[in-house]
Amino acid sequence: MVNNQIVKRGIKDERLLKAMLKVKRHRFVPE
């Protein structure tokens, strides 16, 4: 998801990219 949706939009902040890869998104998305 990060490569397909975030990087392709031009986001290059390494801290942000690492956080997006590390955080478990299922904890924030309702089932």
Q: What is the pTM of this model?
A: 0.59
In this predicted structure, what is the pLDDT of residue 15?
A: 95
* 4-16 per-position pLDDT tens digit: 888 899 999 999 9
Q: What is the dihedral of CA 7, 11, 13, 17, to 10 degrees?
A: -40
In this predicted structure, what is the pLDDT of residue 4?
A: 84
- Give yes or no for residue 2 having a pLDDT over 80: yes
- At a CB cut-off of 8 Å and minimum separation 6, what does 2 contact? 17, 20, 21
What are the domain boundaries of the chain? 1-31
* 17-31 per-position pLDDT tens digit: 999 889 887 878 877
